[in-house]
Amino acid sequence: MTADQGFELHPGAASDITGIWEFIAEGNPDAAGRVREDILDAIRRLVPFPHQGHQRTDLTSRPLSFSDGAQLPHRLCAG
């Protein structure tokens, strides 16, 4: 999860994604891979539109949160 993918995740966000993958992989490694890729694909879609999202003034003045089609909240932290 580095800049060669068009983005660089905050260490906390990368840890969150790894934790999600590990939790799901205990029961279904294939599903874990799909969920991880879905998350990363959603992030890649945000790269061309870095100011897309909702304000989280408790974290930063920049818009960094968004929802996917299932209305699940996600977080991104930008430097």
pLDDT tens, residue by residue, 24-61? 999 999 999 999 999 998 888 878 876 666 666 777 66
Domain boundaries, the chain: 3-75
Q: Say which residues have a Cβ less than 8 Å from residue 77's Cβ, sequence separation at least 6.
A: 9, 10, 12, 13, 59, 60, 64
Look at residue 47 in the predicted model and tell me its pLDDT: 81
pLDDT over 90, % of the chain: 34
